[in-house]
Structure 1
Amino acid sequence: MTASTPVFPITPLLPQICDSLAAHPRLVLEAPPGAGKTTQVSLALLDAAWLAGQKIVMLEPRRIAARAAAQFMAQQLGETVGETVGYRIRFESKVSAATRIEVVTEGILTRLIQHDPELAGIGAIVFDEFHERHLAGDLGVALALDVQATLRPELRLLVMSATLDGERVAQWLDAPRISSPGRSFPVRIEHPPARAQESIEHHVARMARQALEENDGDVLAFLPGWREIARTQAALAQTLPSPIGRGVGGEGTGGAWHLAPPVPSSALVGAPSHPQGDSLWVAGGRRDGMSIEIVALHGELSLAEQQAALAPAETGTRRIVLATNVAESSITLPGIRAVIDAGLAREPRFDPNSGFTRLETVSISQASADQRAGRAGRVAAGTAYRLWPQSKRLEPARKAEIAQAELSALALELAAWGVRADSIDAMRWLEPPPAGALAQARELLIRLAALDADGRITALGRRMLELGASPRLAAAALRAPIELRALIADLLALMEARSPLRGEQARSDDFRARLAALHAWRDRRGATTRGEVDTGSLAAIEQVSKGWRRRLDVRTAASGVPDSHRVGELLLHAFPDRVARRDDSNPLRYTLANGRGARLHENTALHGEPWLVALDLRYDTRDSLILAAAPLDPRVLERDYPAQFTRERTLRWNDDRAAAEAFEEQRFGAIVLERRSVPVQPQDALPALLSAVRTKGIDVLPWSDQTRRLRARVLALRAWMPELGLVDVSDAALLATLDDWLAPYLDGKHRLDALKPEELSQALAARLDHEQRRVLDAQAPESLIVPSGQSRRLEYPDGEPPVLAVKLQELFGLADTPRVGGGRIPVTLHLLSPAGRPIQVTQDLKGFWERTYPEVRKELKGRYPRHPWPDDPWTATPTHRARPRPRH
């Protein structure tokens, strides 16, 4: 390093870091944002003896941060990027034979390890910002640990993080742990509430204006995504004084023009209209002679726009930077004195039940909130405005992406590494991938022909990894005919980007409209109707398409309008499970090949299309909404996916007939193409009948009162005397064991109503052997003989003591309450009048005779004079009859 190298909080620890790695091959370094770990540690390790002139590869999760870190390190060495320090990201590389520090993004590191497991010429791998817990970062560490354990024990691994459970990670890695203090000034935390009905964008805009008034320097606002950034930009542009013009250089009304990475004006609701192109846009004004500039910062900006956002503002200009969580760590934004934090981030969530990944706006973790607030205290004391109640409690740390993401890319990498489904635990994971999501990912890869039936990677799967796209898109790209490779490059770029359509066109669910907009813009360069497209987005999509064309070895770009089914036929190979056929009864509803339902919105541009491939859906528990799709000629399915066509005999339950029905069906996946009714075979009907019972519940069976009472007695005695080990006859237990007890009595039947109540009673009784039935009759009898000599039925309410309803006169002479359940459970007596009306409910018959009977006798004697009402019920003769009338 040169003599002009700045001093950072991490600087005093650099010798200790070097010494630790000399003595131990792994190290965990904790250092808060601004400590200098990203740009100082790798430079300090260059001359280490153990490195022996080899390279250092530093993994940086974000492209913006990778470029910025490489540039800053190169400047410290007095060099340009690509000499000692370089970087490699997707579609872009600045390295040379002299490069010894390579800053790479996550996919690049995985490719390095897969290409050369020995990592020849690489002496150390540095994992920066590990606390972000990206999926590829977790995989990279797992692969590097495997390399270190088997091939390169001298390889050094350094895991660095700003907010991390360092002790847990150090234990996982079996590594020393070094912590660095940060360099920060006090940050005042405020929680300004939103006004009534105030949107998050207007809340941020209001606080940005307040922050300019209350603080010196620039303002950094965190928002969850580009849409919120666009709306906040528009709100600020409308309220800040004297809007600035557009362009680079020159003078504009109310202040100098400035270069600012934008969300294009055509994307903004209520944004001011400008006569020039959409590539640059700044709104702002002057306050007390100070120019105000609004700058957007997010991952979809071009390199030039990102560099402009990270550059210091011009003298006399204050900035409001509207950023996603890309600004949380790794990159330096100079001059920030106030932070406005919406407390939100947009993260992918994979639902294994639906097979869909959806972006969700979620609350950030406390660790992220602390990092964001720390941005206000880098250069001087600052203020952080948190736009959530102070009482709200945040999760301590961000959840690992591996626990909530779609895992097909991970599964393909593991297959290439030779990890089978049964050996996943052999890898060292901080958190292992969820078994269910990983199994579903492997199923998708088999469908894409990236894995064989045994889970081994295929030749196509290896080519998919080399291409560097997601498995779905890589499959589509590599199966496209050579003459259509230029077109598939456009489709890959469009699939990875947000829609460039604006205005009314933005609502179109026809994916072909996006391709048409790209080709019209490319062919005529800006002649597209204003307001219908975002030309800035189209320019970014064109750059990505160029990258794919280079990888696919395509020299010229596609143009014109392709065949109406071409887009769907190409993207079919990315989404064979989302081939969709229109329902005959509802033109807006479709059945997907994976068995799920989907629907078009009422104003769809795809109305009437019989076959689609659904490219983007919004998940719903019933029918997911199709957000983007392309028409498909079903004949291509027969050509490319013949194995997906099946003809099989199926059974289903007809609710109206309460009977099983049999069909012979031809299917593509779960889509029924043809169905004809066939006779139901006895062996076929039984599974359908049992399935109907499981679906509808146990009450669908013809239970008689006697059988219901038998179940109640068994359940009661199981609870009272568990040592008897009586069989469980609860609803859940009976449904779980239908094959054991009910199937023999349904065998040969086609309808549920063919099962007679007597047969069901026999089926249930057969669950008890002779001894259990004897004990049941003794300890939970169906009835009791009362003193009158009559048999009276016992009722067994669920979870309560049994009930005996009996006329009072029938119990004369009985001193104590009857008991069941081995004498443990007193019977609840419902004492009745001679007319059968309730008199008393008791479990204490003795107490009734002593205390309550005299009052009852006095009250009822006159009402029922023909019935006995003795003074002494203890010695009276029990009877169920009235006294006979005297003869005259």
Structure 2
Amino acid sequence: MQSDFPVQSLIEPLRRQLTERRFAVLQAPPGAGKTTVLPQSLLPLLSAGQSIVMLQPRRIAAVQAASRIASLLGEQVGQTVGYSIRFERRVSAKTRIEIVTEGMLTARLQRDPELTGVGLVIFDEFHERSLQSDLGLAFVLEAATLRDDLRILVMSATLDGTAVSRLLDNAPVLKVDVRRFEVQIEYEDACRLYRSQGLRGAADFIERGQYLSQAFYKALLSAVRHTLQRTTKDILVFLPGQGEIRRAATILGESLTDLPVVPLYGELSRKEQDEALRYDPGRRRLILATNVAQTSLTIEGVDAVIDSGFERRQRYDAGSGMSRLELMRIAKDAAEQRAGRAGRLADGYCLRMCSRSEFDALTERTPPEIAEADLAGFLLELRERGASPDELCLLDRPPAAALSRASKLLHELGALTDDRITATGRQMARLPLHPRLSRMLVASLEAPRGPRGQKESSDSQNGLHEAADLAALLSERDPLRFRPDEPFTADLQRRIDWITSQRERNASERLVRIADSLVRSVRESGRTTREQAEIQVATPETPAGIAALLALAFPDRIAKRRTSQSSEYLLANGTGAILNEADPLRESEWLVVADLDTQAKARIRLALAADATDVVREGSVSIRRVMRPVAAGFQIVEEERIGAITLRSRVLRSDEADASMIIDATLSRICEGEEWTNDAKALSLIQRVECLREAGFDDLPACDTTTLIAEADRWLRPFIGPTGTISEYSTPLFSRFSTEQRRLIERLAPESIAVPSGSLIRIDYAIRPPVLAVKLQELFGLIETPRIGDGRIPLTLHMLSPAGRPVQITNDLRSFWTSTYADVRKELRGRYPKHPWPEDPLSAAPTRKTKRHTG
């Protein structure tokens, strides 16, 4: 073993703490050797027959860590050290250190809650706070209550050690002192590389909300040329995703013909990843990487980093009812880690593609995934374990709204009934997929009946192979997305045909291996019970049958064309989406949509053509009665629907519609949220009350949709007129509160607040924390951030330029004045010379006017 790793000074103290306390937390910067040295150094703690399991957040990091440790031991991977990642495992009877990705650990704990044979679990790079790492730690803590010989070590470079220590029964926090090489950090506004070209920096870098603009790539080229002059070794460029890397590689490769451009991201082949990580002292390179290079990976030969300041994070999009990778600014902790990659082995240089003031406005820490992600898989794992989120030891509680959405989806998929897991749900939970895709695979086991009622047993006949191909396609990157040799189509059938051709050619294609692995997983899991009602689908060998299976996975994304000549579709979840005008899928009236680009106008990226027989099944159609105004008053219309899609409708005769139906039809419209947009006062009241309740004012009656629906008879029915109509909803809503409570709402959550200039500015309660958008000059003299709710709720300030454009977002006004204002002033006073920009904003008079009018 090498003897020059800084973490070696803590091996004995760490062994002692893990022996005496069982739990420990380690903070060590990148390069300290925690990932490669500690696992082998802690083997002596284990009893005979026990092993170490170490978690890594990404597949590429797990494989590289195993390779490096094996190399230090002078062995091949699969001997003393091995790895297990999704769809791939290299271990043997000799393996005592197993490096796994996070989902592999939770799956193992579901099978074996005591984690038999494991003596130590190491959570590496825990600061990334993925959903699976949080869940894995909670499950391992439960296992530790069942075994007194199970130890836990949590490691990170930028970890909040105190919070994790509390979770681990106040475990000791050990820190490694490492000589830090100096990294010179430069901001765009200091070297003025591209502002001289008329660009304003990050403000010009995003187009259509989710894409980096041509201006960004122009700026990136300038940044690379500048960095080439300042450094001598490889340059590491951080970009948000695979698409940005491909585009940047093309643009930079055309201009910098003598500099090899090397991509690095998780979906590359093992050979391509090894090539990107291999350092050649005689050849300088430009490495374009995603967040996979931010931690864990060792990339030798890098002495410079160019940080785009952007990343793609998985977030749930409430508007479309699904998760997506969203382009976002990184947090300061991520920026520090990126810069640190330039100073692993020697002094380095980092160029941040933003101004200093833009950097100062970044949030301090990347939010944990549990706060933003789709929680369907998380909740299914808990229900299989017979647990609830409240029972787990978690650093952060999952949002109630996200859990509610997850529960609703799992009930729709048949995985839960009355919040209890079903036999179908148990089988779904055993598959390493999102619950939607595992539902499709489980459904594929429902073999079609032969002509005499006997079951067909062949996998090729019951659709398992087709479903596995489809699941593999949807769980990985689209294999046809970046192929310039043929026009793009959203048709999933083309992808299914492609993967079939790859299999027939015996190609060593990752998607083929994944699909074949899924077939084995489904066979191994087996059908444990038949208590689920049998689902009738067409023979799944045909595209129609595959669409029926996909509709089981995405019941909320069944889509119907709005008109016969239109490229616009209505999804069952109420979302509208459009298909490319030239896409052959436009010929299909019905689609099942698997992937949407959910911008202002959602675009269909992946879908299968279907027909009514694919999507209409028992239990999928609901009956709704709605009230429609007509010249003579109103009509009650009975509709057969799949979600928001109307299949058939008929007008009820007068002798069929009674007063109760009229009231129920009105309530239906209100409960579905169709009326709130017509009554701003009612919507404001709901948002303000919910904001106060989230801040701890629980005595106020709830105003969330679920509660309003459940209590509609009490608060709304008395206000409905004899014609079944109501003019406004704020009065009925206010009736739910006592006079004292109404006064409390007005005091604690006012609709508007006075700022120092005297202006009354409306507070936006639709966002949490609530937002106060106000021109910067109107806050002169104000030191502390305004608060509401008796000081419990700080407002997020969107500080606007004189033109009303956001220039800074902060919830710490004092810090803004002292650390950031000078940069904002420097940047904007030339652009808005008629407005005051005093050097000392705290002693200046607040104003809404120009300097001429303030005289």
Q: 1:212 aligns with which of 228, 243, 251?
A: 228
2:30 matches 1:42: no
Query: What secondary structure sits across from 1:488 in the alignment?
Result: helix
Residue 156 (structure 1) shift? 0.8
Residue 498 (structure 1) shift? 2.8
Q: Which residue of 1 aligns with 2:380?
A: 412
Q: Which residue of 2 aligns with 1:718?
A: none
Q: Which residue of 1 aligns with 2:398?
A: 433
Query: What secondary structure sits across from 1:436 in the alignment?
Result: helix
Say which is worse superposed, 664-673 or 218-227, in terms of deviation: 664-673
Does the 8 Å contact 1:653/1:689 carry over to 2? no
2:19 matches 1:22: yes
Query: What secondary structure sits across from 2:420 in the alignment?
Result: coil
Distance in 1 separating the partners of 2:251 and 2:678: 60
Residue 29 (structure 1) shift? 0.7
Distance in 2 separating the partners of 1:476 and 1:234: 38
Distance in 1 separating the partners of 2:570 and 2:677: 31
How far does the alpha carbon of each residue in 1:799-835 deviate from its partner, in whole angstroms, 9 at most, with x for none? xxxxxxxxxxxxxxxxxxxxxxxxxxxxxxxxxxxxx
Q: Which residue of 2 aligns with 1:643?
A: 619
Does the 8 Å contact 2:105/2:136 carry over to 1? yes
Q: Which residue of 1 aligns with 2:835?
A: none
2:183 matches 1:187: yes
Q: Which residue of 2 aligns with 1:299?
A: 266
Does the 8 Å contact 1:682/1:747 carry over to 2? no
1:659–1:740 CA distance, 2 compared to 1 (3 A): farther
2:435 matches 1:471: yes
Tell which structure's C-alpha radius of gyration is larger: 1
Q: Which residue of 2 aligns with 1:605?
A: 584
1:585–1:606 CA distance, 2 compared to 1 (3 A): closer
Distance in 1 separating the partners of 2:151 and 2:712: 59
Aligned AA (2:243): R
How far does the alpha carbon of each residue in 1:211-255 deviate from its partner, in whole angstroms, 9 at most, with x for none? 2332122111111111111122112221224xxxxxxxxxxxxxx
Aligned AA (1:684): M
Q: Which residue of 2 aligns with 1:516?
A: 497
Residue 737 (structure 1) shift? 11
Q: Which residue of 2 aligns with 1:308?
A: 275
Distance in 2 separating the partners of 1:698 and 1:223: 39
1:30–1:669 CA distance, 2 compared to 1 (3 A): same
In structure 2, list runs of 5 or more residues that go unmatched.
200-213, 448-458, 525-539, 680-708, 737-855
2:651 matches 1:677: yes
2:542 matches 1:568: no
Q: Which residue of 1 aligns with 2:85?
A: 89
Does the 8 Å contact 1:25/1:155 carry over to 2? yes
Does the 8 Å contact 1:352/1:437 carry over to 2? no
Residue 6 (structure 1) shift? 3.7
Within 5 Å, give how 1:769-848 maps onto structure 2.
none
Does the 8 Å contact 2:627/2:666 carry over to 1? no
Residue 417 (structure 1) shift? 1.1
2:230 matches 1:234: no
Query: What secondary structure sits across from 1:508 in the alignment?
Result: coil
Q: 1:614 aligns with which of 588, 593, 600?
A: 593
Q: Which residue of 1 aligns with 2:105?
A: 109
Does the 8 Å contact 1:344/1:362 carry over to 2? yes
Q: Which residue of 1 aligns with 2:153?
A: 158
Aligned AA (2:304): A
Residue 506 (structure 1) shift? 5.1
1:76–1:585 CA distance, 2 compared to 1 (3 A): closer
Residue 171 (structure 1) shift? 2.0
How far does the alpha carbon of each residue in 1:280-328 deviate from its partner, in whole angstroms, 9 at most, with x for none? xxxxx3xxxxxx4321110101112212222222x42112111101001
Query: What secondary structure sits across from 2:284 in the alignment?
Result: strand
1:594–1:737 CA distance, 2 compared to 1 (3 A): closer
1:495–1:182 CA distance, 2 compared to 1 (3 A): same
2:464 matches 1:485: yes
Residue 697 (structure 1) shift? 8.8
Q: Which residue of 2 aligns with 1:334?
A: 300
1:204–1:70 CA distance, 2 compared to 1 (3 A): same
Q: Which residue of 1 aligns with 2:329?
A: 363
1:620–1:327 CA distance, 2 compared to 1 (3 A): closer
Distance in 1 separating the partners of 2:307 and 2:636: 60
1:544–1:737 CA distance, 2 compared to 1 (3 A): closer
Q: Which residue of 2 aligns with 1:633?
A: 611
Aligned AA (1:29): L
Aligned AA (1:70): A
Aligned AA (2:127): H
Does the 8 Å contact 2:551/2:614 carry over to 1? no
Q: 1:201 aligns with which of 217, 220, 241?
A: 217
Query: What secondary structure sits across from 2:313 in the alignment?
Result: strand
Within 5 Å, give how 1:831-870 maps onto structure 2.
none
Residue 643 (structure 1) shift? 1.6
2:19 matches 1:55: no
Does the 8 Å contact 2:719/2:726 carry over to 1? no
Q: 1:322 aligns with which of 288, 292, 295?
A: 288
Residue 692 (structure 1) shift? 8.0
Distance in 2 separating the partners of 1:690 and 1:82: 63
2:559 matches 1:580: yes
2:508 matches 1:542: no
Q: Which residue of 2 aligns with 1:814?
A: none
1:181–1:657 CA distance, 2 compared to 1 (3 A): farther
Distance in 2 separating the partners of 1:649 and 1:563: 33
1:568–1:697 CA distance, 2 compared to 1 (3 A): closer
Aligned AA (1:9): P
User: Kindly, what percent of the aligned residue pairs are identical?
Assistant: 40
Say which is worse superposed, 209-218 or 430-439, in terms of deviation: 209-218
Q: Which residue of 2 aligns with 1:225?
A: 241
Distance in 1 separating the partners of 2:267 and 2:716: 61
Say which is worse superposed, 489-498 or 19-28, in terms of deviation: 489-498
Does the 8 Å contact 1:301/1:540 carry over to 2? no
Residue 586 (structure 1) shift? 6.6
Residue 143 (structure 1) shift? 0.9
How far does the alpha carbon of each residue in 1:716-747 deviate from its partner, in whole angstroms, 9 at most, with x for none? xxxxxxxxxxxxxxxxxxx9999779966855
Residue 399 (structure 1) shift? 0.7
1:186–1:627 CA distance, 2 compared to 1 (3 A): same
Q: Which residue of 2 aligns with 1:657?
A: 631
Does the 8 Å contact 1:649/1:662 carry over to 2? no
1:651–1:312 CA distance, 2 compared to 1 (3 A): same
How far does the alpha carbon of each residue in 1:848-876 deviate from its partner, in whole angstroms, 9 at most, with x for none? xxxxxxxxxxxxxxxxxxxxxxxxxxxxx
How far does the alpha carbon of each residue in 1:623-670 deviate from its partner, in whole angstroms, 9 at most, with x for none? 6332221111322345xx302223x3502232x538332123223344
Count of aligned residue pairs for this structure pair: 644
Residue 495 (structure 1) shift? 1.2
Q: Which residue of 1 aligns with 2:166?
A: 171
Distance in 1 separating the partners of 2:716 and 2:545: 54
Distance in 2 separating the partners of 1:669 and 1:742: 25
How far does the alpha carbon of each residue in 1:329-385 deviate from its partner, in whole angstroms, 9 at most, with x for none? 111001111111111111111024531212111111111111111111112111111
1:208–1:547 CA distance, 2 compared to 1 (3 A): farther
Distance in 1 separating the partners of 2:674 and 2:376: 33
Does the 8 Å contact 2:125/2:157 carry over to 1? yes
Alignment root-mean-square deviation, CA: 3.3
Does the 8 Å contact 2:29/2:178 carry over to 1? yes
Distance in 1 separating the partners of 2:63 and 2:82: 9
How far does the alpha carbon of each residue in 1:400-428 deviate from its partner, in whole angstroms, 9 at most, with x for none? 001100011101110111114xxx21211
1:652–1:219 CA distance, 2 compared to 1 (3 A): same
2:415 matches 1:445: no
Query: What secondary structure sits across from 1:440 in the alignment?
Result: helix
